[in-house]
Structures are given as C-alpha cells and as structure tokens.
Amino acid sequence: MPTQTQRFTTPDPIAVDIRNPRGAIEVLASDTALTSVDITSRFDDLDAEVRFNEGTATLVVEIPRRRFGKQPRVTVTVRVPRGSRLTADAASASIDVRGPMAGLELSSASGSIKAEEAHGPVNARTASGSLRLGEVHGTLEARAVSGSVRIAAVDDVAAVRVVSGSIEVGTAVADLRATAVSGSIHVGEARRGTVELTTTSGGVSVGVRRGTLVWLDLSSVSGRAHSDLSGGGAAADSNEDTLTLTARSVSGSIHVRPSASAPVPL
C-alpha cells in the first residue's frame, strides 16, 4: 500500500493533533530531534492534511471524512520527541501510544486505546473499545461505555467510569473514584487519600499497602463484604499514609486485603 511521508525538524517536544475516522493512529515517542508522519492507505488519491507550525511547535494531521461512500481505512504513524503532547480523535480507529508523552487527550468511538506512559494530565474515553493505560504521572479521567478499563499505575487524582465493563487499577497513589454499572472493580494497591468504588452488578477487590491507616466503609446488598486487614500493622509515626476507603455493591461481594504489590499488566 502506498505511504505518504513527511519529516520536520523538532529539537524540542511538540503538540500533536491527529484526527482519523477509520484505521489506526500510532504515536511513538523517543529521544529524537525529528518528527515524522507516515500515512498509509490503499488509496493513491487520499487527500490527507498535514500541517506543522514551527512557531508554535504544533503538528496537525487530519484524514478527511467522506460525505458519501465508505470511509477508507488509513494508518497514521507519527514519531515525535519524548515529552510531546497528544490529542487524538478517532471514530472506528484504534489509538496506540508508545514511549513517554506529556498530556494525553484520547477519544475513540469503537476502537481500542492504549498508551504506555504519560507525564501530565490524561483524558481518555471510548464507547465500545477497551482502554489500556500504563503509568500515568498526572491527573486521570477515563471513561468507557461497553469496554473494560485497565490502568497500571496513577499517582494523582483519578476518576474512572464504565457502563458495562470491568475496571482494573494496579496502583492508586492518590484519590480514586471508580464507578461501574455492570462490571467488577479491582485495585491492586491503594496507598493514600480517598478511594470510592461503586458497582451495581459486580464485585469489588482492593489491596491496601501494609502499614497504611485505613478507614473502611463497605456495603453490599446481596453479597458479602469482608476485610483481611490486620488492625496492628500500622506504623506509629506522623508520616504514615492514611486511606479512606468506601466500597459499594448491589449484587457483588467486596474484599479488602493486604496488597501483593503486583502491577496490572498493560
């Protein structure tokens, strides 16, 4: 398939905005002073728009929507300096982000979203695709309608919501609010702050780091709520972490236990 290629000199991180209705969006961040854009499609006459503003260090890549006929499947591959910011919007295209990025704004209607590492705020949403995030060093908002959400680690305030799908968080360092209508919620390790977990038809499982002072508020209508935490394991100094954990389920069990510190794989 033919590929259109463009190159730009970018010694510093840039801001990238990609819009691709159908196919795939791939962004790779590394130690490079060159930004490249590769657009691959079986259509030779694809009218793709690529604009780079050197003054604002902004790159825009847009695949036009067809008003009539079938939307072509296009793969957009962009290589950028590490620490760049990304906004990506897709209809039925998947989004795959590899390497350390800054802020991420990711949206897909029926495609999957995957990002390895972010050092800034992340806002990711998908309707009927899965959402996979690695390390998030910043605030996080993640939403899915009929797809699951999996997050390896987040060290700032996070809010996750799904309608019909599971939620998995490996490590939550700060405040976390997770809500599922039809699906389970699993947190590998909650460290501090306020954690609120709510599901209607699903179970809740939470690991708590040993030595953390915990206030528990657990409730399940038709399931069992229990804790395996020991009351005598907390440290006795003023620097110890404190955690307020609220977990609610209508038709599922709730289990709180000491964490095994096992990260959730991406």
What does the alpha-carbon distance between residue 137 and residue 118 come to, in Å, rounded to a whole number?
Answer: 6
Q: How confident is the model at residue 69 (pLDDT cuts 50, 70, 90)?
A: low
Residue 242: CA atoms inside 13 Å, Cβ hemisphere, count? 6
Average pLDDT over residues 166-172: 96
Residue 203 pLDDT more than 90? yes
**pLDDT category, 186, cuts 50, 70, 90?**
very high
DSSP letter at 45 equals T
Higher pLDDT, 66 or 222: 222
* Confidence (pLDDT) at 72: 79
pLDDT score at 210 = 83
Q: How confident is the model at residue 111 (pLDDT cuts 50, 70, 90)?
A: confident
Q: What is d(CA 135, CA 77) in angstroms, rounded to the nearest whole number?
A: 22
The mean per-residue pLDDT over the stretch 20-26 comes to 93
Q: What CA–CA distance (Å, rounded) separates 206 from 177?
A: 13
How many percent of the chain have pLDDT more than 70? 91
Q: Is 79 exposed, middle or buried (0-12, 13-18, 19+ CB in 10 A)?
A: buried
d(CA 187, CA 166): 11
Structure token pair of residue 156 = 């700032």
The pLDDT-based confidence of 15 (bands split at 50, 70, 90) is: very high
**Residue-level pLDDT at 266:** 60
The pLDDT of residue 235: 43
Partners of residue 151 on adjacent β-strands: 133, 169
CA 57 – CA 114 distance, rounded (Å): 25
Q: Half-sphere exposure of residue 74, counting CA atoms within 13 Å on the CB side?
A: 31
Instruction: For residues 49-60, give the mean pLDDT.
Output: 96
Q: Average pLDDT in the 216-227 region?
A: 93
Rg, Å, the chain Cα set: 21
Q: What percent of the chain has pLDDT over 90?
A: 77
Where residue 233 falls among pLDDT bands split at 50, 70, 90?
very low
Residue 166 predicted with pLDDT over 70: yes
Tell me how many degrees the CA angle 221-224-225 measures, rounded to the nearest 5. Answer: 95
d(CA 232, CA 219): 23
Instruction: Say how far apart CA 100 and CA 158 lie, in whole Å.
Output: 19
Asked whether the beta carbons of 20 and 87 are under 8 A apart, the reply is no
The number of residues in the chain equals 266
CA neighbor of 144 nearest in space, from 127, 167, 158:
127
Mean pLDDT of 228-242: 62
pLDDT at 230 over 90: no
CA angle, residues 29, 31, 33, in degrees to nearest 5: 95
